[in-house]
Amino acid sequence: MSRSADYTIQGFHYQLNKTLLETLTNGNQVIVVEGTEDIDILNDTEITHIQCKYHEAREKFTLGLVYKPIIEFMLAYSLNYGKPARYVLFIHTADRHDGLYELTVGDIAAILQTRNKEIRKLISKVKPAVAPDAFVSRVRIEFGPKYDDLKAQIYSKLAGEGFSDVDVDALVYPNAIHLIGTVSIRHDQSERTITKSQLVEFLRANKQAIISSWTLAVSNRKRLLALAQKKVLPWMKVNSTRRALVLGKEILTDDPNVSDLVRFIADFVRLYSFKVAHTHPPLFCFEMTLTKFSAVFVALNKKGIRATSGYIFGEHFDVNYLLRDPLVGRAKNEQLPREFQVRLALTEHLAVIALSHHPDIVFSTVDERLRWTPLARHESK
């Protein structure tokens, strides 16, 4: 990965942390994640739009660094003239970690004289009726702390909600980042909202560390995986455990021939569905086409893995056929292998499956589009 790409990723993680901090700071005001700006804060009288900029590689702050976001603010202000709104540029550079930059009318005049073609195109869209002094009074440039210092502020806020220091570090903070990240990718802006009370309720309800791309990016990966392993192992050691795995399309895109997936399922079956005491074949649900699903079924059969899919006569799905108990035969005093070792299904049938099937533990890589409420849950996004 290039250094510039690395800084871009760091910038997004910095934005997630700023969003989390604003959610914890602003009572029960509604926070819009990835709204008009990176963060929108709604209250009864006005909207505060926050744009985050992370410039760790920049040794020194200059006004030229913020020409574009300031003009973007001015354009938004001109298009919504008369509506109560404030604009905050939250920016981190190597030399400025706190305090404010007082934007002046003279600064606006200098920005309007830029020869940068991209910025001039934005300037041409700004309505001429905008008074620079009125606009400046609505803008604040705030310098953000270092990444670790921003996290420390969040830890303090979470501790103030009654969570212990140990839980904040190992459980609460990662889960909070997971929730903010999940909200940020919802399709409709109307659904990308959160309040402090919703956040705290979520954190109190989730007593296990959620392992996802969000949490692994901002927390100690090794420690999080160790915690997950500690939670999961008791369920994996019990022979009679009902296990389900839900794999979203995102995790399957790098395996077009499903060879890795087939190998994983075969290994899982040989570990957790081979004994006589393994009375509940694991259920795998995939977010994929029926054609690819059929390819998985055939490939497993070639590996000697006996599977059932719930499909009868091609495309007709029968949930009762999927969830039936496998037949077991006997030859003299010897028990023959079960009819099947694993159940396979498509996520399009998950809603009807969930009505009848109640696993003890679900391993899931999917987001909120596909919900299941088992006795235990391990998310790995």
334 φ/ψ angles, rounded to the nearest 5 degrees: -110, 130
For residue 292, the cross-strand partners are none
Task: Name residues of the chain where pLDDT drops below 70.
Answer: 1-8, 209, 211, 213, 216-240, 250-256, 273-278, 314, 329-336, 366-381
Question: Pairing state of beta strands 342-346 and 85-93?
Answer: unpaired
First vs last C-alpha separation in the chain: 21
For residue 54, the cross-strand partners are 92
C-alpha span between 127 and 107 (Å, rounded): 18
Nearest to 353 by CA among 312, 317, 308, 300: 317
Work out whether the CA dihedral 112, 113, 118, 120 comes out positive or negative: positive
Express each pLDDT in 64-82 by its tens digit. Answer: 999 999 999 999 999 887 7
C-alpha span between 224 and 221 (Å, rounded): 5
Residue 375: the pLDDT is 38
Residue 369: the pLDDT is 45
Q: Which residue stretches of 113-258 are H helix?
A: 117-123, 132-136, 147-160, 165-167, 173-184, 196-205, 213-218, 221-237, 249-252
User: Which token pair is 258?
Assistant: 């499903």
CA dihedral 35→39→43→47, nearest 10 degrees, is: -70
Q: Which helix (H) or strand (E) holds 92?
A: strand 85-93
C-alpha span between 200 and 205 (Å, rounded): 9
What's the mean pLDDT when you consider all of the chain?
83
Q: Domain segments of the chain: what residues?
A: 3-201, 238-379
Residue 351: the pLDDT is 84
370 φ/ψ angles, rounded to the nearest 5 degrees: -130, 105
C-alpha span between 110 and 123 (Å, rounded): 12
C-alpha span between 338 and 319 (Å, rounded): 19
177 φ/ψ angles, rounded to the nearest 5 degrees: -65, -40
C-alpha span between 248 and 257 (Å, rounded): 16
Residue 225: the pLDDT is 55
Residue 234: the pLDDT is 58
C-alpha to C-alpha distances, 124 to 63, 70, 77, 82, 136, nearest whole angstrom:
20, 14, 14, 20, 19
For domain 238-379, give the fold.
Aldehyde Dehydrogenase; Chain A, domain 2 (3.40.309)
Cβ atoms < 10 Å from Cβ of 31: 28
pTM: 0.65
C-alpha span between 363 and 343 (Å, rounded): 15
Residue 367: the pLDDT is 55
Question: Pairing state of beta strands 193-194 and 139-143?
Answer: unpaired
Residue 1: the pLDDT is 45
